[in-house]
Structure 1
Amino acid sequence: MTEKQEIFISVDIEAAGPIPPDFSMLSIGACRADDVEGVGFYRELKPINDRFDPDALKVTGFDLEILRRDGVEPEQAMAQFSTWISEITGSEGRPVFVGFNAPFDWSFVNYYFHHFLGANPFGIGALDVKALYMGATGCAWRETRSSMFPVAKQAPEQRHNALGDARYQARLFRHVLSLTQP
């Protein structure tokens, strides 16, 4: 049996609070980690309930009323995301979820895939850039903040935009990989 090629996909989400399904995933963005500026994926989703943490909405800048009106139905958004993943991985690739603080983002993506589509194309795990950086450098956990990475900083207008964040964290991931190669 031939092993499928791993295709690293940087994924970021914005949410109305800390945990699914108590809070909604409001947007999702993704890009191939090896093609940061290539075709990305971005959707804003209709909330699945009315709950929100005011601080979370302050950070994201989203208005739940606008998303209720203009957002994509979650089932449709996840089906579109699944199709996009299949298109960029092809039949020979296996998608690997990459995130900066992956446990948070993956928990929402995993819940939404299972709840709305019955399966998560990423499987049961995610690759966390923060933990990888700690392992590659031997630094302390407190030193894994993105501001500590020696890479160009993210443009302010791209912060808390799920696709902008996915592209930035893909750059962070590529930096960490460069540390592990001779």
Structure 2
Amino acid sequence: MSYIMVDIESDGPIPGDYSMICFGAVLVDEKLDRTFYGRIKPVSDKFNPEALAISGFSREETETFDNPVTVMTNFKNWIIENSKGRPIFISDNNGFDWMFICWYFHHFINENPFGYSSRRLSDLYCGIEKDTFAKWKHLRKTSHTHNPVDDAMGNAEVLKLMKAEMGLKISLK
């Protein structure tokens, strides 16, 4: 199994009505040197200017981004090329990130290489600490910039630390 840390940026709260603007992924292994970055043109005329502003892109810029079929196909191929065994989707907020990635995979290429489930980094940390309110974001080495590759990298670093220093039993291949 291979864990792939994912982070997305969007221009609104749900896929379909709003668009995933960009996303990043990091294969969680010892090196953290395999990443993916996709920028996707909007799939809807609707957008929330405040949500879009978080991504750092203007609406005009996003309209020049790549076709979703191309990006999701490239991401699927990257997952297949970089995974050993079943790929496992993991993110900081998988209720949000998973919703967009899963919808885009099924909507645009009719399959999701991650299957039907995902993991949440925060829940793993809270379980280790035996505290559902435990804070973990201070453990990131890479700054949280809202560049999704940076954000996924910081979260991947925390997962590695949880294994190396906190006793999390996980295979990172």
- Whether contact under 8 Å (1:36, 1:167) holds in the other structure is no
Instruction: Tell me: CA distance 1:145–1:24, structure 2 relative to 1, closer, same or farther (3 Å).
Output: farther
Partner of 2:17: 22
Instruction: Tell me: CA distance 1:12–1:115, structure 2 relative to 1, closer, same or farther (3 Å).
Output: same
Instruction: Tell me: CA distance 1:36–1:112, structure 2 relative to 1, closer, same or farther (3 Å).
Output: farther
1:101 to 90, 93, 100: 93
Partner of 2:142: 154
Partner of 2:153: 167
1:48 positional shift = 0.4
TM-score, reference length from structure 1: 0.85
1:129 to 104, 121, 124: 121
Secondary structure at the counterpart of residue 127 of structure 1: strand
Between the aligned partners of 2:118 and 2:38, the Cα distance in structure 1 is 21
Identity %: 36
- Whether contact under 8 Å (2:140, 2:154) holds in the other structure is no
Partner of 1:3: none
Partner of 1:87: 81
Segments of 5+ residues of structure 1 without an aligned counterpart are 1-5
Deviations 1:9-42 (A, max 9, x none): 1111111111111110000111111145412100
Deviations 1:108-140 (A, max 9, x none): 000000000111100111110011111111123
Secondary structure at the counterpart of residue 144 of structure 1: coil
CA RMSD of aligned residues (A): 1.7
- Whether contact under 8 Å (2:20, 2:100) holds in the other structure is yes
Between the aligned partners of 1:55 and 1:123, the Cα distance in structure 2 is 32
Segments of 5+ residues of structure 2 without an aligned counterpart are none
Secondary structure at the counterpart of residue 82 of structure 2: helix
